[in-house]
Structure 1
């Protein structure tokens, strides 16, 4: 490992994020880049051997890295863990080499960084088995919503989340890194991410929803986020008025989180909300839950809650099993990593996993955009279509700036 240690010393010269991304793409290495909400630091990790598992891994014993998991965690797509062989911070502009990282690949990567200053970034990865994406038009989507409302009124379930895709041609001057930069500026309150994994694909997103977080102070957090309406014209939440449908939808998500705590016999938590929060061009209702693990003896709470929560009622429905069956039978496409979860694990600031919402998958010449809406017995099919239209604007806004 002397060779790798020497390279770590060379990183003192400093690298740009563009060099790091270009170097990873040119070497066809798995890459994750992210910025936590309300932070300025952009972090990245490069993994030489991504690990795919059929089960959600244990967070507490995991090495430092990045987790990227699909909506159906026991389905065709795997749960991918990117062990951080190389880490990067935009604040220090330096690389941190993991002691176990293979020296030969570290050498090749740092050589690629030097060349990246003079070269355009390589093409981003696209899926090995490219799915056929067909846009659902308003008629087919609203028909599925109407069927869901009938099932809910027949008491087959309480709520189901139906989503759809929309494909958009990539602008001729589209740049992966510039798109990421535009997202950083446009969505300061969101978890902004870029994930590029050979054979799996490339995803960009700006998620407003924490799934599971355990920070460096050993504080566990999760949220109940639901209900959607366009941002008020004055850009504030002061005049937000919520319909009964959205209030009940958010209440369902809140009760779902509490039911998970109950299954674990956890009583020591704080609850704040619901309150109106801004996410890009939208407003949502949000309730925050916290557990101080320094005071509560529950060392595996992060993993236990992750396995109970996902997929939450905010992206699946209630009860979970009939809602999931309805989605798989009637949604009409494979969500893949949309409405799954992603984020850094055991970093210097802890583990922070977010639901993969407000995202797009990049193909060679197209972007596949995703959006969903929570359906209850009070839902209007046309209004749910409009909600997905509003949510698609998050990523369409980024594409329109090229």
Structure 2
């Protein structure tokens, strides 16, 4: 895929460029994604597709240099209600190169839309009036995409506790080894809520997370700051994934290495790590490096994490990223084990549609061919016209206590929910 580089007026700030690109996408009913990689400071990237029809995907994307470039946004379970999306990278902006955008001139609809896009980017008269939602008395531009599905029901503490008890009973009865229960919560949007400003706030609060803002027809608009890599392949040929499980609040004044873990969290994390090893075994891969488990911080929470890495320069396995992605999703960290039995339990008992929560998202072959960074969509919220839908879950084992599991979801809801009060 070849790109044309378009130079931008030097007076435009990164925020102004992002607002113009997002406003253009929304005005034309197009999908758009913004993200910031962990520890990348202010290096925000954007992918805009010039055709909404080109965003629909079937199988997960191929994580190989010759595959198309774009942004993957996949649900927990693919369905007609929650389509799997792959947003082609027809227009790309990288804040590391703030003076330009890259444009794929051969993209569908490019001939009709690119002149309008370039006008929006070059016209200085719009530099102070292009906004996404009303702010500072500026006129609004088109609204964010809204999911056509109804808002999910929310669970009370009593209802969630009953779900936890059913999960523990299923484990005790031998139906599953582990199951991940989750719930949705609803909060009203504050007056003048600005989604792009909220995205910037996420990047400021959570420098170690993958922060994202995705808006697409059929999927709606989602904000998040997730700590969990699903599959990553670097330009240099390094494959990595992780087992992340177990949660406790970070104690003020204490380093993560001082955390003490209960047997329940240790067993939960070990099950997730074992599942990844079993995926390697299915592919007959033995040359991998395992590091951990160790305690890591994610915002105000601590987790147990084990990292797995493969040097693809030494292991001739060019499709490893693609194959592992298809084996892992949905991971045991968001579903349970055995996978099919756990997913059937969730479908029967959870009582709501997770949609894109606990799916995966991230750039593929961006910013360069051969790079793919896909994350589990945790610590996220869905934007509706007047409210935000927040999501959180907990991994259940035989020792799970309903009150503790409820409190864990409360802690996790605060990660994305904090921007609603910022």
Query: What TM-score bracket applies, with the shorter chain setting the length?
Result: over 0.9
Query: How far 1:257 sits from its partner (Å)?
Result: 0.3
Give the stretch that moved more between structures: 101-110 or 212-221.
Answer: 101-110
Q: How many residues align?
A: 395
Contact 1:164 1:331 in 2 (8 A): yes
Q: Residues 30-76 of structure 1, C-alpha deviation per residue, up to 9 Å, x if partnerless? A: 10000110112110010012321332232224211100000013564
TM-score of the aligned structures, taking structure 2 as reference length: 0.90
* The one of 380, 384, 388 aligned to 2:401: 380
TM alignment of 1:125-140, pairs within 5 A = 125-127=145-147, 129-140=148-159
Give the stretch that moved more between structures: 208-217 or 67-76.
Answer: 67-76
SS, match of residue 53 in structure 1: coil
What residue is the counterpart of 2:192 in the other structure? 173
RMSD value, Cα: 1.6
Where does structure 1 lack aligned partners over 5 or more consecutive residues?
none
TM alignment of 1:142-221, pairs within 5 A = 142-221=161-240
Contact 1:341 1:354 in 2 (8 A): yes
Structure 1 runs of 4+ off > 6 angstroms? none
TM-score of the aligned structures, taking structure 1 as reference length: 0.95
* In structure 2, C-alpha distance between the alignment counterparts of 1:241 and 1:319, rounded to whole Å: 28
What residue is the counterpart of 2:8 in the other structure? 11
* In structure 2, C-alpha distance between the alignment counterparts of 1:9 and 1:170, rounded to whole Å: 36
SS, match of residue 259 in structure 2: coil
Contact 1:56 1:73 in 2 (8 A): no
Q: Residues 260-283 of structure 1, C-alpha deviation per residue, up to 9 Å, x if partnerless? A: 000000000101100000001100
Say whether residues 1:64 and 2:69 are aligned partners.
Answer: yes
What residue is the counterpart of 1:109 in the other structure? 117
* The one of 265, 281, 304 aligned to 1:285: 304
Query: How far 1:15 sits from its partner (Å)?
Result: 5.7
* The one of 67, 79, 82 aligned to 2:84: 79
Contact 1:89 1:95 in 2 (8 A): yes
What residue is the counterpart of 2:50 in the other structure? 48
What residue is the counterpart of 1:276 in the other structure? 295
Query: How far 1:172 sits from its partner (Å)?
Result: 0.4
Contact 1:35 1:192 in 2 (8 A): yes
Q: Residues 95-136 of structure 1, C-alpha deviation per residue, up to 9 Å, x if partnerless? A: 001142313211122223333542322311101x22242210
Give the stretch that moved more between structures: 306-315 or 70-79.
Answer: 70-79
Name the CA shift for 1:9/1:144 in 2 (closer, same or farther; >3 Å): closer
SS, match of residue 398 in structure 1: helix
What residue is the counterpart of 2:138 in the other structure? none
Contact 1:30 1:198 in 2 (8 A): yes
* In structure 2, C-alpha distance between the alignment counterparts of 1:131 and 1:42, rounded to whole Å: 31
Say whether residues 1:98 and 2:104 are aligned partners.
Answer: yes
SS, match of residue 248 in structure 2: strand
